[in-house]
Structure 1
Amino acid sequence: MYVDFSEHGTPSFSSIRKWLGRIGLYELNRKKEYRSDWIFIVDLTVELGTEKALVVLGVSQQLLEEQVFPLKRGLGHQDVELLALEIMYSTKGEYIEQKLSELTKKVGRPVQIIADHGSDIQRGIKLYQQQYPEVIYTYDVTHAMALLLKHELVADEKYQSFIQQCTQCRQQLQQTELSFLSPPSQRSQCRYFNIERLINWAIKLLDSPIDIIVELVPNIEPAILRQKLKSKLGWLINYQESLSIWSQMVQVTRTVETHLKTCGLNQKLSSVLELQQLTMRGNSLVNFQLKIIDYLTIESSKIQSEQTILATSDVIESLFGKYKQFSSRCPFKQIGQMILSISLSTMKLTGSVVKLALETVRYLDLEAWSDQVFGQSMLSKR
């Protein structure tokens, strides 16, 4: 039905949100194709409260082989479908396995499940594999590389000292004329996914000619400025050698990630390692590279010799990020109707699809689903 907004006025924010909720619920409930080549991408997301959302995305092996791997690109939001979204108050492995088994009856047994190694998800998938041992369980390469870096750097006293110095330096510079030289802010969570920001900042600053910095702060006498720079940033000299080592470690993980994300995972491991142009020197770097080879060997041993499979669950992390961008406007960060924005992001929204969705799902249906799944909201209780 066409609506002339010039006569009816601009729709309110709440009206638009309800429309989006109805379209998202339509996509969630829409019957999915029964296939023998599904790949399940599984993860949990949390907000305030005890609820967790179990999300299962699906992409067919056929689509990967025909449209993704040949173009050497990562999965996009519209390459996947939302196969399941369950709000859970307990995420024990037994419950995860139950949900995966229920989904299998609806859409078919997958050829692969890809996820991180969160304890509940890992247990649930392994219990599921007891029923379906031929299903491949792949450890997401992004989480695997971040965990390898974390294990290496958490035990490195020099690195821990470096990040503490970065925090202090940021506090000292943020209200001064040198604030543009401040270290990047550090994430409280998942910091080992983005450690190159700090390392690159330090390397670039050490490589910058001091005369350039002097030109950028013309209102301070050069001699005084040089003294300030030495006082506030001179500590970086102590980490120059270590920064080179850390940078190489990050670079080799990113090289492996990029290759696996764009070309998939197969048994041709040597090609991955040949891509990176680093000469790994020193015991710590050699040992670190061997750990990466161990990961690749373990994961590739699960697949057939000519097979190429998905290696990353980045697409689900991206969709979670998009959902949290929407939900950040809510007064309380509690999982609610906005979780349906995940299904919206995977849809190809044409006029006919929107029309069908709004004709199929009423506002009353959305409210009934919300009451059944979430009950009374935190804001309503307050």
Structure 2
Amino acid sequence: MRQAGLSFRGTAAALAVFATAGDTDRTPDRTPSATTVRAWVLRLGYAHLTRPLSHDHRWVWLIDHTLPIGATKLFVIVGVPLDHVPFGVRPLQLADLHLVAMVPMATSNQERVADALEAAVARTGVPHQIVADGGSDWQRGIDRFRERHPRTVSVPDAAHHAANLLKYYWTNDPQWAVFTRRMTETAATIRQTRAAYLLAPKLRNKARFLSAGTFVRFGRLVLRRLRDAAPDADVVRHYAWVSEYLYFPRNCVTECGSELG
């Protein structure tokens, strides 16, 4: 289930198929229901949340909110020993991470964040580093925690840090504003037409600069199509205006694949 990404019901159905050994005419043996599978996962999660963790490592904590249910969010701390991080080899994987804490929060503020961080010290000891997305409640909570533990380093994650830089430089850039507006207008024009396969990816309403990469890559791919010896008529009809953005490097489009077919 964890490796295949199956749902609880999907896992129960897969186990029922395996129980028939490929014989669909045979009544399967009793197999776990979705409720049983859910109970297994909850027990596994509880074991990860309560098992002892070594205090002998220099721990890095990654913190964030996840699984919003109504007004309540789940504040999660996962950790990895700094000497186990595969720098320059591969990205972190789920198997690298250890669940340190899970705290339901109806309201997230610096006091609650700082209290949750302080309580988590019992699991790993004082962390060497805390990585967060740079949100104000996170940062103020981390700062309060660091007043007690000044040797802990606060670091923004690379994706949000880059998105914040883009926001700083592009929010008031008239070319970016016009580019995004015309992409939106073009999408509205072709959405219910045979050219809908040319729809640009959407920018997120929240954290929109985290999705700016796919948006810009789409523009580069359109530009490449317009430069073809015999460009597609739909591309020319709806996206000829993209030719105004010739400052996109020609060699960048080769890194993007063929997202337009």
Give the TM-score taking structure 2 as reference length: 0.77
- Corresponding residue SS for 1:105: helix
1:75 to 2:75 alignment: no
1:20 matched to which residue of 2?
A: 41
- Corresponding residue SS for 2:43: helix
2:165 matched to which residue of 1?
A: 148
CA distance in 1, matches of 2:38, 2:176: 46
2:144 matched to which residue of 1?
A: 127
Residues 12, 61 of structure 1: CA spacing in aligned structure 2 closer, same or farther, 3 A cutoff?
A: same
1:369 matched to which residue of 2?
A: none
Q: 1:211 aligns with which of 222, 230, 237?
A: 230
- Corresponding residue SS for 1:84: strand
Residues 187, 210 of structure 1: CA spacing in aligned structure 2 closer, same or farther, 3 A cutoff?
A: farther
- Corresponding residue SS for 1:31: coil
2:109 matched to which residue of 1?
A: 92
1:49 matched to which residue of 2?
A: 70
Structure 1 residue 107, shift from structure 2 partner: 2.3
CA distance in 1, matches of 2:104, 2:84: 29
Q: Is the 8 A contact 1:113 1:137 kept in 2?
A: yes
Q: Is the 8 A contact 1:36 1:109 kept in 2?
A: no
What does the per-residue CA deviation read over 1:280-318, in whole Å, with 9 as the maximum and x for residues that have no partner? xxxxxxxxxxxxxxxxxxxxxxxxxxxxxxxxxxxxxxx
1:106 to 2:127 alignment: no
Structure 1 residue 185, shift from structure 2 partner: 2.8
Residues 199, 36 of structure 1: CA spacing in aligned structure 2 closer, same or farther, 3 A cutoff?
A: closer
CA distance in 2, matches of 1:198, 1:51: 32
Q: Is the 8 A contact 1:206 1:236 kept in 2?
A: yes
Residues 144, 90 of structure 1: CA spacing in aligned structure 2 closer, same or farther, 3 A cutoff?
A: same
CA distance in 1, matches of 2:122, 2:198: 57
Q: Is the 8 A contact 1:59 1:81 kept in 2?
A: yes
Q: Is the 8 A contact 2:75 2:103 kept in 1?
A: yes
What does the per-residue CA deviation read over 1:309-329, in whole Å, with 9 as the maximum and x for residues that have no partner? xxxxxxxxxxxxxxxxxxxxx
- Corresponding residue SS for 2:244: helix
CA distance in 1, matches of 2:216, 2:138: 32
CA distance in 1, matches of 2:240, 2:43: 58
CA distance in 2, matches of 1:100, 1:35: 18
Structure 1 residue 196, shift from structure 2 partner: 2.3
Q: CA RMSD in A?
A: 2.6
2:239 matched to which residue of 1?
A: 233
Q: Is the 8 A contact 2:134 2:156 kept in 1?
A: yes
CA distance in 2, matches of 1:98, 1:185: 38
CA distance in 1, matches of 2:170, 2:113: 32
Query: 2:246 corresponds to which letter in structure 1?
Result: Q
Q: Is the 8 A contact 2:55 2:124 kept in 1?
A: yes
Structure 1 residue 129, shift from structure 2 partner: 0.8
Residues 185, 90 of structure 1: CA spacing in aligned structure 2 closer, same or farther, 3 A cutoff?
A: closer
Query: 1:86 corresponds to which letter in structure 2?
Result: V
Residues 240, 212 of structure 1: CA spacing in aligned structure 2 closer, same or farther, 3 A cutoff?
A: closer
- Corresponding residue SS for 1:186: coil
For 1:236-247, what aligned pairs fall within 5 Å after superposition? 236-241=242-247, 243-244=248-249
Q: Is the 8 A contact 2:110 2:144 kept in 1?
A: yes
Q: Which runs of 5+ in 2 are unaligned?
A: 1-17, 21-27, 256-261
1:10 matched to which residue of 2?
A: 31
Give the TM-score taking structure 1 as reference length: 0.54
1:160 to 2:177 alignment: yes
What does the per-residue CA deviation read over 1:335-373, in whole Å, with 9 as the maximum and x for residues that have no partner? xxxxxxxxxxxxxxxxxxxxxxxxxxxxxxxxxxxxxxx
Q: 1:61 aligns with which of 82, 86, 90?
A: 82
1:137 to 2:154 alignment: yes
Structure 1 residue 12, shift from structure 2 partner: 2.1
Q: Is the 8 A contact 2:61 2:127 kept in 1?
A: yes
| Identical pairs, percent | 26
Q: Could you say which structure has the greater relative contact order, defined with CA pairs below 8 angstroms and 6 or more residues apart?
A: 1
CA distance in 2, matches of 1:62, 1:234: 52
CA distance in 1, matches of 2:19, 2:222: 54
What does the per-residue CA deviation read over 1:91-134, in whole Å, with 9 as the maximum and x for residues that have no partner? 22112111211221332111111112111111111111111111
CA distance in 2, matches of 1:28, 1:89: 21
What does the per-residue CA deviation read over 1:220-249, in whole Å, with 9 as the maximum and x for residues that have no partner? xxxxx4xx65442222223333x45xx8xx
Residues 8, 202 of structure 1: CA spacing in aligned structure 2 closer, same or farther, 3 A cutoff?
A: same
Query: Greater share of helix residues, 1 or 2?
Result: 1
Query: Greater share of strand residues, 1 or 2?
Result: 2
Structure 1 residue 178, shift from structure 2 partner: 2.4
